[in-house]
Structure 1
């Protein structure tokens, strides 16, 4: 590929950040926390209040507050109030995965949800939002005490509501977001154990990637043995799909570089090669492989596409990964990929009429809703607009707090 202008020279990033943040301003749910947003940005009050959406919106608007966006602070507070209020299990500790419109909590306690609570609380702490530091202390303690498995150096996936029965499933998705959460907690607290956990998880993930041709197994048993056929009958599952998830390989490639940067000169030398290998295989397997631009959602273990729908979060992570690798290496190919995918997003995902991005497109790049109806939250899209403007370390909220995001 030819050389290209640095991703940091694009004005679209800042402009689109503001447009996305404007779209999400009506997220507040009457029960507390964040509602699922419809395609026009109105709250869908018939759906539950989800912990992961609420935490993501708390994170996004805390970061926006650090950027000086008018009105972002109170919006962050509204989302954080959902995490300290309706979604918080005050009797047994931890956070409910969701609360139905009638106020009844869903069962179980999920590491995925708790990782986002840590991220939200860390960003809120750096933004000096009321109650965020206390929330962060409790969230990190709960996550480590309940989910961390020291011998595996990984987080388990799901407990029952009363912390009595640990499910036998283990998953890489929750651990990927745990890496992000632990780095954010390190930024907010200086706790080096959080940073060490992020590296330990990353080392295991890279090892599995290396052993499987850089197609990352997502699903494991209780002994952390890969379950390569898991959910073969449910390939479009929104959180646990069958096969290799192209977007997660891209996301891991970026997170690996954040881990490397967090450790500085003490970082292991395998991190950059692992990031580049995951990125390269994901692009080869996923980008425009079926006659139309866009990333397929998942592939089989030989790289054959399984689910061909285009998810907005995959394109968002591709933009962020390309920009991050360009910043780390200076290799022009990564800047060129950034430009290609930014143009693709602007041409297909960005909804200039109603706002935000379509969350899913079909194989012909038309809006679809097979897996993701509506436009539930802003997390992936906003981060894709900010990460190319940020240093590799510290993390996004800390970089915004220091004025390092341009």
Structure 2
């Protein structure tokens, strides 16, 4: 890309971010956080308020405020209020999975940490206290020092934990720990993120030829047949989820940047392996463009739907690897992935991105209905314009402090 091409592309990305945020604003629910939007951008009455959505929206609105994409400070504050209010368990501590589910999951707590870290970096009221409590809860309730990984979930009273461990929640804890370490200056969180990545990627994924098992026993043995009767499960589908290989690759490159001279050499090499594995096994795997959602353990497409978050993570990973290496290979794929997103996922009629499309590119809802999530699409339009470190909210805060007054 020439400097002019880059400038024009960045202007287009900024326009994308504004459009995504404009759509997401409608998710605000008074006193309760953020709700589930349907395909046209209206609140769905069928879906309860979910902590992960409220936390993701709070993160996005904090970033949008910090980067000047929209006047969303009040929306970030609304999310913090909800996370300190109705979604928080004042009696037993921690956060409910949602208004209709009092269990407490590592996945949801990861996003509470991420949201609080982003809002705290922006100086939003109550965010610093929220971040401190969320990190304390993760450390005391979820973190297992012996494994160097996190438990999956608890009941409301913290008396019973699930006989299941998951890679997905730990992956999002890596992202949350990177943001928390940058926001607080406590590098303990960076080291824990590295430990999670070493356990699940450098050991487990490498041992499975760069296919990442998602489901584990309590002592972290892979369960390859888990949910074999539920291949389209929203959060725990059977088989291997190609998009997560890409997401992990992006996080490894960011982790390397955060750690600097202390970063082990394998981070970049493993990121390359995951990216190529996703391309070789998941891209056009059924003869149609795009990444299939899941593969079985013989690399056969299992759920063929195309998810918006997968192509968003492909964009981010190609951008991160190009930023790190300067290699044209990644830049070409970055352009290919954006072409696919523009053609199949970006909804120019109603706004935001179609969350799921069929193999031939038509909107679908076999796994995901509506458009409840701005997080992946917004980051796809933001992170390629930024350095690999520090966390975007920390960088935004630094730029705001340095801006002429």
TM-score computed with the length of structure 1 as normaliser = 0.95
- Aligned partners of 1:320 and 1:399: how far apart in 2? 17
Q: How does 1:374-389 map to 2 (within 5 A)?
A: 374-389=370-385
Pair 1:399 & 2:379 matched: no
**Counterpart of 2:302 in 1: which secondary structure?**
strand
Identify the match of residue 345 of structure 1 among 314, 332, 341. Answer: 341
Structure-2 residue corresponding to 1:271? 267
CA contact (8 A) 1:13 1:386 kept: yes
- Aligned partners of 1:244 and 1:377: how far apart in 2? 22
- Aligned partners of 1:337 and 1:205: how far apart in 2? 26
Structure-1 residue corresponding to 2:194? 199
Q: What is the number of residues matched between the two proteins?
A: 396
- Aligned partners of 1:137 and 1:48: how far apart in 2? 27
- Aligned partners of 1:354 and 1:152: how far apart in 2? 46
- Aligned partners of 1:393 and 1:78: how far apart in 2? 27
1:93-143 deviations in Å (ceiling 9; x for gaps): 00000104xxxxx13110000000000000000011110000000000001
Structure-2 residue corresponding to 1:85? 85
Pair 1:44 & 2:40 matched: no
Q: How does 1:283-322 map to 2 (within 5 A)?
A: 283-322=279-318
Structure 1 runs of 4+ aligned residues shifted over 3 Å read 4-9
- Aligned partners of 1:58 and 1:249: how far apart in 2? 26
Q: How many Å apart are 1:402 and its aligned residue? A: 2.4
- Aligned partners of 1:362 and 1:54: how far apart in 2? 28
- Alpha-carbon distance change, 195 to 166 in structure 1, aligned in 2, over 3 angstroms: same
Q: How many Å apart are 1:192 and its aligned residue? A: 1.3
Pair 1:230 & 2:226 matched: yes
Q: How does 1:4-43 map to 2 (within 5 A)?
A: 8-9=6-7, 10=9, 11-43=11-43
Q: How does 1:69-80 map to 2 (within 5 A)?
A: 69-80=69-80
CA contact (8 A) 1:64 1:72 kept: yes
**Counterpart of 2:387 in 1: which secondary structure?**
coil
1:275-322 deviations in Å (ceiling 9; x for gaps): 000010011111112122111000012211111000000000000000
Identify the match of residue 121 of structure 2 among 111, 121, 126. Answer: 126
**Counterpart of 1:37 in 2: which secondary structure?**
coil
1:318-371 deviations in Å (ceiling 9; x for gaps): 000000000000110100000001011001100011000000001211000111
Please provide the CA RMSD for this pair: 1.3
CA contact (8 A) 1:8 1:388 kept: no
Structure-1 residue corresponding to 2:167? 172
Structure-1 residue corresponding to 2:145? 150
- Aligned partners of 1:60 and 1:197: how far apart in 2? 24
- Aligned partners of 2:70 and 2:191: how far apart in 1? 36
Moved more, 46-55 or 65-74: 65-74
**Counterpart of 1:306 in 2: which secondary structure?**
strand
- Aligned partners of 2:267 and 2:69: how far apart in 1? 35
1:18-40 deviations in Å (ceiling 9; x for gaps): 11111111111134100101111
- Alpha-carbon distance change, 273 to 354 in structure 1, aligned in 2, over 3 angstroms: same
Q: Structure 2, unaligned stretches of length 5 or more?
A: 401-405
CA contact (8 A) 2:17 2:69 kept: no
Q: How many Å apart are 1:71 and its aligned residue? A: 2.2
- Aligned partners of 1:20 and 1:223: how far apart in 2? 41
